C-alpha cells in the first residue's frame, strides 16, 4: 500500500487525490509521503529503547519449555537460560516474554501460576484474567 502511495505521488497527484483513489485517510497518505521524503524508505523504522537481553533463540527455548511443561515456574526457566548463555537476573524479563506469547500453557494458566508464584501471591490469583 505504501509503495502505491509513493508511486501515485511521484506521478504528480496530491494528497487528496491519492486518498480518494486508494481509500485511505489524508493524514495516512501525508504521513507515508513525509516519512518517505525524510528517511528515503517506506519500511518501518527501528524503535527507540533498550534492546532486550533475551535473544530470539532464548525466547523460543522459553516458549518451548513452558509448552512442554506448563507447571514450570520462572525461577526454573531462569536457570535453564544458562544453556543458551543468557543471564537474566530478573524473572520479570522472562515472564514478559511469555506474557506476550498468549498461547503458552493454555488460557490464563501462565498468569495464574508463574506470575503469582514469582511475586508471592499464591496459586489462583488472577484466574480468568486475559
The domain spans of the chain are 2-39, 56-118
pTM above 0.75, yes or no: no
Per-residue pLDDT of the chain (130 residues; tens, 9 = 90+): 889 999 999 999 999 999 999 999 999 999 999 999 998 888 888 888 887 777 888 888 888 888 888 777 777 877 777 777 776 666 667 777 777 766 555 545 555 555 555 555 444 444 444 4
Cα separations in angstroms, 11 against 1, 2, 26, 29: 16, 14, 17, 15
Predicted pLDDT at 10? 93
Asked if 29 and 5 touch (Cβ cutoff 8 Å), the reply is yes
Q: Which residues neighbour 13 within 8 Å (Cβ) at sequence distance 6 or greater?
A: 21
Predicted pLDDT at 34? 93
Predicted pLDDT at 123? 46
Cα separations in angstroms, 17 against 24, 26, 30, 35: 10, 9, 12, 19
Predicted pLDDT at 50? 81
Q: Which residues neighbour 17 within 8 Å (Cβ) at sequence distance 6 or greater?
A: 8
Predicted pLDDT at 98? 73
Query: How open is the CA angle 7-11-15, to the nearest 5 degrees?
Result: 75
Predicted pLDDT at 69? 81
Distance in angstroms (rounded) separating the CA atoms of residues 25 and 23: 7
Q: CATH top-level class for 2-39? A: mainly alpha
Amino acid at each position: 500500500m505504501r509503495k502505491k502511495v509513493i508511486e501515485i505521488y511521484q506521478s504528480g497527484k496530491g494528497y487528496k487525490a491519492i486518498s480518494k483513489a486508494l481509500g485511505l485517510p489524508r493524514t495516512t497518505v501525508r504521513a507515508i509521503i513525509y516519512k518517505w521524503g525524510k528517511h528515503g524508505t517506506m519500511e518501518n523504522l527501528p524503535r527507540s529503547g533498550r534492546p532486550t537481553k533475551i535473544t530470539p533463540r532464548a525466547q523460543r527455548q522459553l516458549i518451548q519449555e513452558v509448552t512442554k511443561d506448563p507447571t514450570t515456574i520462572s525461577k526454573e526457566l531462569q536457570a535453564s537460560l544458562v544453556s543458551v548463555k543468557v543471564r537474566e537476573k530478573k524473572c520479570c524479563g522472562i515472564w514478559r516474554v511469555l506474557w506476550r506469547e498468549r498461547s503458552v500453557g493454555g488460557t490464563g494458566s501462565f498468569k495464574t501460576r508463574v506470575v503469582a508464584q514469582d511475586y508471592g501471591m499464591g496459586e489462583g490469583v488472577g484466574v480468568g484474567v486475559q
